[in-house]
Amino acid sequence: MLNQPNSMERNESPNNSHQIQQNPLNKLNQKKKNVEIKNTRISTESTKTLIELFILKDIQIPKYTNEFWTSKQRQASSLHEISYRACFKPQLPRFFINLLSKPKDIIYDPFSGRGTTVIEAGILGRNIIQNDINPLSQILCQPRFFLPKLDEIQKRLKEIPIDYSAKAEIDLSMFYHKKTESEIVSLKKYLQKRIENKEEDDIDRWIRMVATNRLTGHSQGFFSVYTLPPNQAVSQSSQIKINKKRNQTPEYKEIFSRILKKSKSLLRNISEIQKENLEKTGRKGIFLSKNAKDTNEIENDSVQLIVTSPPFLKVVDYSSDNWLRCWFNSIDTKSISEKITVTSSIDIWVNEMTKIFYEFYRIVKPNGWIAFEVGELDKGKINLDEIVVPIGKNTSFTPKAIIVNQQSFTKTSNIWGIKNNKRGTNTNRIVLFQKT
């Protein structure tokens, strides 16, 4: 198991002289006390890495299973607390960034989502490239490299005019009180006007990002009546059913105080070193909204490490889940749906990923790495890591390992009958490739 650096400040400094070991995978088998393995699964007390051999035709690579990173290993930055469907924990990219890169290296996420990988890379003093075919990703990600002060946010919010006669062009009455809706529409118009007049700045972009994240949810901190968690916006008809079942009607919720409160929460544990690292990274960073197989803005042989998780075979519908966020940001969900590869066909998925891996091969440095996080399908009957390995091999990458991060059983999970490696509940599966 990788030993994480003891000093957060040392790790976050761009001047850190950390060097990548000749074979960083040796660190995956480091042991600690209380070693125990039961039935090839790691018990609560186990800290030993289970090593198996993955064999597929002419491919033989090690498969490492252990609890390599968990939410307990390090308190994640509050800056990550932006909801998005199917996003991984920041401990995952941090693990591979520390293991396979050094400060000032370029870290790239081609399916960026809420921006977990690149935000974590920025905190650690790396350079970044962020890409996602959904332009909503850049709206959620880029502002968190340029952190405003709370008094700046408060001052700007006070300057935004509210027209309480304003209404949305679509029916949102099942989500919002009419006064709340007027405030949301007024903010939407203000932000759009700032763009049209070329006056939009970092504070505007921050407010847009936070407001986008507060549109709907299941607590008082959101603008809407009680609904599903904010990473999935239900349809109007579904929300009407929720309201009827819960016997609820939208109450008035003032939006600016909620934007300020969420801003305070996001910024609550950001150190000055982190803030400096993020701004330096953001100024140099490349932010794209393109298909990952066509990124000519990225130079050949420039990326040290890709850490990413691609869309999985119709598991998540990113456009419909984000329809309300897209409305607020004037993004056409239909055009996004046409661009995102959401399919139930493994053959189509493999074909698209193959094209993307060829592009990866162009941009990754010699001896650079890919950490490709995939999941399980059909209740664990299909492991996508076993499908991804030959994709990388066929596009000239060298498969180096499969890493399964398996969290130990907990009292809670045992009470509810949840077992590790079942339906992906407590695992991440990562395929490591190297350009050799």
Among 35-39, 200-204, 267-271, 356-360, where is mean pLDDT lowest?
Answer: 35-39
State pTM to two decimals: 0.86
In angstroms, the CA 211 to CA 85 distance is 17
Averaged over 25-37, what is the pLDDT? 52
Structure tokens at 129: 């490239």
pLDDT value for 334? 75
In angstroms, the CA 412 to CA 426 distance is 12
Distances 288 to 128, 137, 248, 297, 298 between C-alpha atoms, Å: 11, 9, 41, 9, 10
Displacement of CA 66 from its chain's centroid (Å) = 22
Structure tokens at 139: 């709206």
- The residue whose two tokens read 């650096």 is 5
Query: Residues of 384-406 as b/e, b for ≥16 C-beta within 10 angstroms?
Result: bbebbbbbbbebebebbbbbbbb
Max avg pLDDT among 284-288, 371-375, 419-423: 284-288
With beta carbons less than 8 A apart as the criterion, state whether 68 and 94 touch: no
Distances 166 to 142, 163, 169, 192 between C-alpha atoms, Å: 29, 6, 10, 15
Q: Which phi-psi region, left, alpha or beta, contains residue 371 (left: φ > 0; alpha: ψ -120 to 50)?
A: beta
Sheet with 59-66, side-by-side order of all strands: 50-56, 59-66, 398-406, 427-434, 364-374, 303-308, 106-109, 127-131, 286-288
Averaged over 263-267, what is the pLDDT? 97
Contacts of 374 (CB under 8 A, 6+ apart): 309, 310, 312, 383, 384, 385, 387, 388, 429, 430, 431
With beta carbons less than 8 A apart as the criterion, state whether 154 and 160 touch: no
Give residue-wise pLDDT tens across range 282-323.
999 999 999 999 999 999 999 999 999 998 765 555 557 789
With beta carbons less than 8 A apart as the criterion, state whether 84 and 229 touch: no
Averaged over 359-371, what is the pLDDT? 98
Please give the mean pLDDT across all residues of the chain: 84
**Residue 237 scores a pLDDT above 50:** yes
Helix (H, G, I), strand (E, B) or coil at 216: coil
With beta carbons less than 8 A apart as the criterion, state whether 258 and 222 touch: yes
User: Comparing 332 with 337, which gets the higher pLDDT?
Assistant: 332
- Domains of the chain, earliest start first: 8-145+273-434 (3.40.50.150), 150-265 (no CATH)
Among residues 398, 386, 340, 405, which one has the least CA distance to residue 136? 340
| Rounded (to 5) percent helix, strand, coil in the chain | 40, 15, 45
pLDDT value for 74? 59
**Band of pLDDT at residue 71, cut at 50, 70 and 90:** low
Beta strands in 334-425, from DSSP E residues, in sequence order:
364-374, 376-377, 382-383, 398-406
Main-chain phi, psi angles of 183, to 5 degrees? -65, -40
- Is the torsion defined by CA of 181, 159, 260, 123 positive or negative? positive
Displacement of CA 365 from its chain's centroid (Å) = 23
